[in-house]
Chain A
Amino acid sequence: MPDVRALLRSSLVWPVVALLALVVLNVVVNPGFLSVRLQDGRLYGSVIDILRNGAPVLLVALGMTLVIATRGIDLSVGAIAAISGAVACVQIAGSNQESAAGTAIVAMTTALAVAVLLGLWNGFLVSVLGIQPIIATLVLMTAGRGLAMLVTDGQITTVTNPTFKLVGAGFFLAVPVAVLVALVVFGATALLTRRTALGMLIEAVGINPEASRLAGVRSRTIIWTVYVFAAFCAGVAGLMIASNTSAADANNAGLWIELDAILAVVIGGTSLAGGRFSLAGTFVGALFIQTLATTIPSIGIPAETNYLFKAVAVIAVCLLQSPQVRSALAARRTTPSRAKAGAPA
């Protein structure tokens, strides 16, 4: 059965299995889980909700995937999402044509520009100054919410702008706009990394930075770019979150989204040690995280233990992916000790 073996070895199989298991669990608890209905030209249903609420996590996780592939990490994405939402809302609220489409477009462009600037900052710290990514982005993770507070003046800024509302809560051809946006960014990222040489170069830098440097890879530019991209994705996610609630909440918008994103990436099979990355894996991982978040209350687990449950589920998926466990499951030839960073001889 060579095919089954090959399948078991593929990195995507366990995340998909885990996701399916969650879906089955949900269907058992709630037989209507998978049903989708069309009403007023819009799709409704639990699955649609999961997709729509999962869009920001997916976006952030996409950027995070590339960052992690270069051996980095970006803890500041949640704060950037909050800043982006704050900038957009404050601008819309402060405009004298608060509900005009133009206002929304200008505001969102400004917000994304700010996000890109913040990404440039992160990238500068990491690639030029050589600061450890976890420390470099911790700066903005902690300071960023303060910045967002400054922007909103410490208030929850609410806005009424139909165009802005579309991004997070609107529908296009019956599908939530947020889902479409996330899919477009996903597709564009996939094209950009796999149809150009970007993906390969990112992986090379993540696997062996020194060999890549000697081979002439401009690793500084590449690393800088992925942080900018991650910040851009976080900016878009921040717009979605703010748009969905028509408000900018500097304290709570995108709170802990960086952790969800990192989990999604890891569940999707991209190693935190950098190197080979899988966008498809991240996609499945993000869906898993979001489905889990909706499953927990629906099967009657008290909200207080939410995080505990999540942790258990995540550990289970990660275990399934660990080479040791998988070799035991699939009866592979190598003993665990062959791990890449094996102990010295």
Chain B
Amino acid sequence: MSAGTAAARAETPAARPAPPADSAAGPVVELSGIEIGFPGVKALDGVGLRLMPGEVHALMGENGAGKSTLIKALTGVYAIDAGSIRVDGQEHRFSGPAESQAAGISTVYQEVNLCTNLTVAENMLLGREPRRFGRIHTRAMNRRAAEVLARLGLDVDPTSTLGSHPIAVQQLVAIARAVDVDAKVLVLDEPTSSLDTDEVRVLFDVVRSLRDQGVAVLFVSHFLDQVFELSDRMTVLRNGRFVAEHRTAEITQLELVQEMIGRELEVLERLDRQPADPAAPAAEPVLKVVGLGRSGELEATDLALHEGEVVGVAGLLGSGRTELARLLVGADVADRGEVQVRGRTRPWRSPRQAIDAGVAFSSEDRRAEGVVGDLTVADNMILALQATRGWLRPVPQRTKDELVRRYIEALDIRPADPNALMRNLSGGNQQKVLLARWLITEPRLLVLDEPTRGIDVGAKAQIQQLVAELAADGMAVVFISAELEEVLRLADRVVVMRDRRKVAEQVNDGLEVSDVLRTIAGAGESAVALEVVPDSEEAPRA
């Protein structure tokens, strides 16, 4: 929460963004002096932003800097306390998202908020369904949706229910919905947080073509590479204040990070993980699965997880990496194979059984499967611990305070208020709270599905560091991420998934991203895969 020296800078007249030199036309959106306060927090304090037609503009800042809040001010979700919003030079006071939509602003929010029980097509065209004789013309709707999905290179059945798809596909559907309207301004709040390289490619192509048609795109991402690749200009926020506006070409990543965090970035020492010694006499694995699978989701899979070892899981979207995680932790029930905990076969039919065996699972779908929005940060943190103790033995207040304080500090959660409501935290900070929930249970095996989603650069390194330390202390970790660099940095072994089965298991002795990519793509599989897992024929059939 330290504003530091840079806050002083932000108070200078420079707080008004200078108009970019090369703009012929005026800005399509101009925000100035925006203030928004919540009880106890000043989320935005005099922030300005200019969006030019035909540019991609990145909005940068740490977790909790106020990016999503600024976007919600622009889209009418929050009323502003002060400042002005101009669209096409005309002053607006939006009193709801519908009005901002009518003004030509189309938005994808950070947390996918579609209706999971409607179909993909219904979600995409909700509110503007094609009609015939006054009734919704379902066939036309599905056709229209299919066209847009095809344009995004998405192979999704428009008539399937949205909830049956993984979060990444849901995110893509939300994007498809937003790009399908003729908008002057497209706002994307962390659209790529759960996407793979390929989907990111496609999305970027779509964004570029929209930009070339003159659409202004406002874009939030914690992936600096993506920001530098895609954006033309950027605005940096810190602690709810405007810090600077830049042409992307005129700033380096290092300078940008410094502006975001307001100080020099300590040189992040490369994670020097001492890989768990593969030659060590294989002690009993913490968890071993034999032929574990579930029809339609994962073919029979063998995997052994050892103390002190980080196993990375790589694979494309839909390759079965999340399905594997869910079966490992009892979130879904396997219909074949068995689970052994320290050599003993165990029934594995609920998360609770897994938790009791010392297995913790942080889901990729933070909003639906993690956050308990109306409870406090403290209650969210101790939820899993409390659940294992049972309702009759509440975690003593002192222990609770102590644990919560420790993890708020260790993970730098902001606001550092144990009694803040979880739903009022920024996305990245919620993710940290969920990590804390599981660390508090002191698991023997920690299964992390996209644990750094939506987390800013500084905190990401911090979390990777933490995972390395936990493993050094003897915890077994399964680390799933769409970001291969991150997987390779941490993992001792890498499991590669394709088409809902494990296709390779490789020891990470200096693996390169390209090696793994090749295995994922299936090219030269025999050459790269060190231990190709026997096909599922051997696995016991249910």
Contact = CB atoms under 8 A, between A and B. Distances in A.
A200 interface: yes
Interface string A301-345: 000000000000000000000000000000001111110101111
Contacts of B81: 333
Interface stretch (B144-152, B220-228, B289-297, B371-379): B371-379
A13 interface: no
B177 to A, nearest CB: 7
A218 interface: yes
A208 B371 contact: yes
A344 B115 CA distance: 7
B372 A335 contact: no
Q: How large is the interface on B (under 10, 10 to 19, 20 to 34, 35 or more residues)?
A: 35 or more
Contact of B373 (A197, A208, A212, A343): A208
Interface string A270-297: 0000011000000000000000000000
A254 B182 CA distance: 58
Interface string A197-209: 1101101100110
Most B Cβ at <10 Å: residue of A210, A275, A345: A345
A200 B382 CA distance: 10
Interface stretch (B247-255, B308-316, B385-393): B385-393
Contacts of B114: 344-345
Most B Cβ at <10 Å: residue of A200, A216, A344: A216
Contacts of B387: 201, 212, 215-218
Given A197-B393, A344-B123, A345-B108, A204 B383 contact: yes
B352 A216 contact: yes
Interface in B347-397: 350-352, 355-356, 361, 363, 368-375, 379, 383-384, 386-395
A189 to B, nearest CB: 14
B36 interface: yes
A208 B434 CA distance: 14
Interface in B175-201: 177-178
Contact of B369 (A204, A214, A335): A214
Interface string B406-443: 00000000000000000000000000000001000000
B379 A200 contact: yes
B391 A342 contact: no
A207 B374 contact: yes
Interface string B75-117: 1111101000000000000111110000000011100011100
A204 to B, nearest CB: 5
A333 B391 CA distance: 37
Contacts of A340: 373
B37 interface: yes
A333 B78 CA distance: 7
Contact of A212 (B126, B383, B389): B383
A116 to B, nearest CB: 19
Interface in A158-217: 195-198, 200-201, 203-204, 207-208, 210-217
A222 interface: yes
B38 interface: yes
Nearest to B115: A344
A345 B96 contact: no
Interface in A62-98: none
A335 B95 CA distance: 6
Contacts of B372: 203-204, 207-208, 211-212
B384 A216 contact: yes
A215 B383 contact: yes
B393 to A, nearest CB: 7
A212 B126 CA distance: 30
Given A218-B352, A338-B77, A344-B126, A201 B391 contact: yes
A210 B94 CA distance: 35
Interface in B305-337: 331
Contact of B113 (A195, A198, A333, A345): A345
A335 B79 contact: yes
A228 to B, nearest CB: 14
Contacts of A215: 351, 355, 383-384, 387, 437
A210 B368 contact: yes
Contact of A207 (B331, B375, B437): B375
Contacts of A276: 374
A115 B97 CA distance: 49
B38 A333 contact: yes
Contacts of B363: 214
Contacts of B98: 337
B115 A204 contact: no
A218 B356 CA distance: 12
B296 to A, nearest CB: 20
Interface string A234-257: 000000000000000000000000
Contacts of B107: 345
A195 B394 contact: yes
Contact of A197 (B97, B108, B350, B391): B391
Given A203-B375, A210-B368, A215-B383, A335 B395 contact: no
A214 B361 contact: yes
Given A214-B361, A214-B363, A218-B387, A336 B126 contact: no
Nearest to B106: A345
Nearest to B379: A200
A217 B393 CA distance: 13
Contact of A213 (B36, B108, B177, B351): B351
A191 to B, nearest CB: 12
B174 interface: yes
Given A345-B107, A345-B109, A336 B96 contact: yes
11 contacts: A201-B386, A214-B369, A215-B355, A215-B387, A276-B374, A335-B78, A336-B96, A344-B115, A344-B127, A345-B109, A345-B113
Given A197-B392, A200-B379, A344-B114, 11 more contacts: A196-B393, A203-B374, A208-B369, A211-B369, A211-B370, A216-B356, A216-B388, A218-B387, A337-B95, A344-B113, A344-B174
Interface of B: 36-38, 75-79, 81, 94-98, 107-109, 113-115, 123, 126-127, 174, 177-178, 331, 350-352, 355-356, 361, 363, 368-375, 379, 383-384, 386-395, 437
**Shortest 4 CB-CB distances between A and B: which pairs?**
A216-B387, A337-B96, A216-B355, A197-B394
